[in-house]
Structure 1
Amino acid sequence: MKTRAEQCKEEGNKCMKDGKFTEAVIHYSEAVKHEPSSAILHSNRSLAFLKLDQLYLAMEDAKQAIKLEPSWPKGFFRKGEIEFKAGQYQQALVSYKRAMILDPSDSGIISAINKTNKEMAKDKKEATRTPILYTILGLVVGALIVSADQFLTKAPALKFLPLQVVLIAGCGGIGFAIAKIKRYLIVSQRDSSLEEPLDLLKEMGEHHEVTPQNSSPHTTTSHTHHSQAAGRQRMRKGKA
């Protein structure tokens, strides 16, 4: 007879095949409750989270699978998949290679390594090429501004060559700076995708817990005196 964990695992697997990833997470989570030491269950749930783009949760399960079964290549492979999805190609390559050490004959791991190498080379090329393109674009814009000033206005503002050169160079510098900022934002976004998300409910709960403690004794005392005075006033009206 199948255990409850096995039943939930099969239901989760069926949901994965049907593309119902949220339901798969629910079933795998129930299975994990009954069998928390199963690396396979954590790996399966990690994949479901990955399909939902919940990279932090996917990574947590992948790490747990590795912790439970350090000699199991699937745990490192799953970790590599998550890192690849996050755009962290160097880390993904390390994880895939660790998986390959444990199982050198797995064609899926070899294919993932080749794919990561290609994507990493493409990313490096893009990081090098973008500043050059943006700088050239800035120089072109600067040259157009100077040309427009010289030929489309009756009284050009940039009469002297040094000013024209400074303007064109400045536009090129702005283009270069924009490219660098763009790259910084891309890298920051990749890094943040694996960070723990902010628990707003927890933060709000802590805020509400702290609020009563911030009320001063003077405020409490004033409220008490006000209540007592109001009570005496009502009593006097009642007697009258």
Structure 2
Amino acid sequence: MTGRWVSGPRGASASGHSEYGPDPASGPGAAWVAVCLRVPDARTACRADVSVGATVSVAWYADTGSGSASVRTGVPTGGGPDGSGRPPPLCAHPPGELPCDVHLCVDPDDRQREGGLVGHADVLVSRVPTPLPVACLRVRELLLRHPGCQVAAVPALGAGRAAVGVRGGPDGLWFVGEGQRDLRFGAPVALIASVAHAWTAVGGHPGTLRSVTLAPRGLTGGRWYGEMSA
């Protein structure tokens, strides 16, 4: 779906830092996220006004090719029946030009702070690193427990490791990069999860997305994705 917002079904490191800067998994845990795909150079697409959140450039790799994307965030306003409010104007380019996806991303472990939003999340991203097999099991558990959620992600122990699962597939779940040996991602887990949601929301097959990495100088303005004020 080109040129308008689309969305899926309604619905790190132990230190909190990565080699790229603060890990999104370390910040307070709910955000509206906009992913604009097929940006020729996402660094040129950011707005001058960065008060809403961060604009981050990423590169994605799939069986069908590769490309870039611009990812921008905004903090839920607290309005509306579910407490998430309406998404702020996150798109960093003129309307109608790119396939875009906007979704609500929530930390499922922050029950005291964000518990009311978990049931409405499109994407769930844990901040708690575990061994990779345990992370994969946690992803399955999150998607089973929250049927309105399309993507779940859990950081794994070890640099660049994470389990990022997308609902679907023969057994009900696709993992990003599934089948690749010793897979290590080049971007924080929350970014990978958001790009995976956008990939499926605009019609991409979840089993074909292989990896997501930060583009050079990936932070183009504002704060890091996920590092949001209360």
Q: TM-score, normalised by structure 2?
A: 0.25
Flag the structure with larger Rg. Answer: 1
TM-score (norm 1): 0.24
Q: Which has the higher helix share?
A: 1
